[in-house]
Amino acid sequence: MRIFSSVKRFAQIILEKNPQVILGIANYKGNSQSEAVAINQFHKSKMIDKSGPKKFDLSKIPGFPISPKSSDSFCNWTAYKMSRFSES
């Protein structure tokens, strides 16, 4: 599964570079936005991490549009995985 190896590589880059911020932006109906939380849910019924918290609050960029609701898409999955990684 290519995505899992990509996420592991991304985590390794984070360890090597030690960034202060990791930014995720999505295109939704032609507009860029970010989400306020990453939830422990993927495609409506699957948990991302059975031992993980229900959600992670994500940093907000002042003046940048925030989605009014959270998603359970791949973007959410990645944000949740990276948040879980960064807390360890």
d(CA 86, CA 88): 5
Domain membership of residue 54 (yes or no) is yes
Residue range of the domain that includes 49: 20-87
What predicted TM-score, i.e. pTM, was given to this entire model?
A: 0.80
Domain membership of residue 10 (yes or no) is no
Total count of domains within the chain: 1
pLDDT at 1: 57
The pLDDT tens digits along the chain (88 residues) read 587 888 889 889 989 998 888 877 777 788 888 889 999 999 988 999 999 999 999 888 888 888 888 889 888 888 899 889 888 7
CA distances (Å), origin 15, targets 22, 62, 80: 12, 26, 17
Q: 34 by DSSP, 3-state: which?
A: strand
Contact status, residue 56 vs residue 80, Cβ threshold 8 Å = yes
Domain membership of residue 36 (yes or no) is yes
Domain membership of residue 6 (yes or no) is no
Domain membership of residue 24 (yes or no) is yes
pLDDT at 17: 92
pLDDT at 2: 80
